[in-house]
Structure 1
Amino acid sequence: MARPAAEPGLLHALATLDRRDADAAELMDDPAADPDVLDRTYHRFGIVNRLVSRPAAVYEEWVRPRLATTHSARLLDVGAGGGDLPREILRHAERDGLRLEIVAIDPDERAVRYASRHEGPRFHARVATTADLVAEGETFDVVWSNHVLHHLTPAELGALLADTERLVAPGGIGVHGDIERSVGAYLGFWAATLPFALNVLAGSFIRPDGLTSIRRSHTAPELAAAIPPGWRVKRGFPSRLELVWGSEIPDD
């Protein structure tokens, strides 16, 4: 059973990053998590994710090329949480005058309830899994996730990748992005968030859960050893990994 997340001492955490801490649990995943703190976490994710997850780069590399010829595409965001990243990607498409429809799914109804506050003609949030969408016969030009991989068991990772292959439309692509575990990633997030722990990030789970996420995340060789044929691991900045499958995969 996963243990409740607690921020370890910095030196201890840095010394143990040579192995993945798959048993650590994030506070926001607790079904009994304070709903007000959870809402503040979803709200403030937008600030952190613009720097850490770089939605503009995701749009330019993976989404914009699918819109270049058709000017219309569908994107599935798996494990979308509060939906800040897919909404940011949608804003980039609208800025370029391109038609993008986004379906954001998450098995946690609390996340979907928050994301649904921002629904519109081209952004839809629902409680669902990739297996649900496969059963419904859905397909998408881009199947994407952010910070989901480190939550998964090996069996769940295999199921997600198999579902992704079924959900990607001809000519489309699957991309699952996550953190790469390293001393630099942990120390960088620890130092960058420390000045904001008592103000911008106060009353949210972002700092403790972010540190837990890094401890739970994979290295590039670990993911490379876990993926089936047809997938590849791509490194990104800052301390990012992307599992990529589909057509017209850009070179490093």
Structure 2
Amino acid sequence: MEEMDRPDCDPVRLTRTYARFPVVNSLLSGWRRTYEHRIRPLMSGSDPVTLLDVGCGSGDVARSLARWAQRDGLRLEITAIDPDPRAYDFARHAPHVAGVTYRRAHSSQLVSENRTFDVVISNHILHHLDAGQLAGVLRDSELLSRRLVLHNDLVRSNISYLLFMAGFWPLGLGSYICGDGLVSIKRSYTRPELRAAVPGNWTVEANGPWHSLLVYEAREIYGNRHVPGAGQEGEDA
């Protein structure tokens, strides 16, 4: 378990960690590239695109996506969810960005509410999940998405571990950024491991040198609900 996930972790250090996530994600996570190549082509200036950010943490990725869409004159409505009350509390007290709504919730709760979104994303959550939890999140993602799912996560490698330790130790001062970041890299998948861990209707792509992008594209729509794998006999859902 990473230190910031512990219920008794230092609240001051945790707040500093959330506050520094935008720096880490802007430098490493590749969301600007993902927005330009995968999300923006789905959008228009008239009909809004809806997006769900699963395990949003501090909410910085959701806010960045909303700002980029606004600058491009496009309509993006984001629901950012996290089950951790501390993350939810930090996110909802962050500076307001139009188009972003926060909820304290699991993805399974939104499935039970029959919610759907055009796009479902996550950032750095896959390495936190055991095999059963991973299967559950992927199943929820298929049910929640009408068009596209993008799960962005770290790639485990000795080079990324050493470079992160060398480059990000200043952000670790007074926070959990460096220590937990190194633990995250050690717990993450290599791309072959991730391909072996997910159903065949998901694809694993490189998202820069340090991240993998786990992608699912919805194929069939029935009414307001997506039916995962419809017309794909023998595929895992």
**Normalised TM-score (structure 2):** 0.88
1:36-51 alignment runs, 5 A limit: 36-51=12-27
Q: 1:117 aligns with which of 85, 93, 97?
A: 93
Aligned position for 2:74 = 98
Q: 2:213 aligns with which of 210, 233, 242?
A: 242
Q: Per-residue displacement from partner, 1:199-223 (whole Å, max 9, x unpaired)?
A: x442110000000000000011111
Code of the aligned partner of 1:223: L
Question: In the aligned structure 2, how far is the partner of 1:72 from the partner of 1:243?
Answer: 24
Q: 1:147 aligns with which of 114, 124, 127?
A: 124
Question: In the aligned structure 2, how far is the partner of 1:60 from the partner of 1:129?
Answer: 27
By relative contact order (CA 8 Å, sep 6+), the higher-ranking structure is 1
Structure 2 residue 177 is the aligned partner of structure 1 residue 186: no
Aligned position for 1:84 = 60
- Structure 1 residues without counterparts, runs of 5 or longer: 1-24
1:192 offset after TM fit, Å?
1.1
1:68 offset after TM fit, Å?
4.1
Between the aligned residues of both structures, percent identity stands at 45
Aligned position for 2:224 = none
1:71 offset after TM fit, Å?
4.7
- Contact kept? 1:106, 1:128, Cα under 8 Å: yes
Number of equivalences: 218
1:70 offset after TM fit, Å?
5.4
Aligned position for 1:58 = 34
Question: In the aligned structure 1, how far is the partner of 2:129 from the partner of 2:103?
Answer: 20
**Normalised TM-score (structure 1):** 0.83
- Structure 2 residues without counterparts, runs of 5 or longer: 220-237
Question: In the aligned structure 2, how far is the partner of 1:51 from the partner of 1:190?
Answer: 14
Question: In the aligned structure 2, how far is the partner of 1:145 from the partner of 1:155?
Answer: 17
Structure 2 residue 127 is the aligned partner of structure 1 residue 156: no
- Contact kept? 1:28, 1:38, Cα under 8 Å: yes
Root-mean-square deviation over aligned CA pairs: 1.5
Code of the aligned partner of 1:189: F
Q: 2:181 aligns with which of 207, 210, 221?
A: 210
Question: In the aligned structure 1, how far is the partner of 2:133 from the partner of 2:46?
Answer: 33
Question: In the aligned structure 2, how far is the partner of 1:69 from the partner of 1:87?
Answer: 18
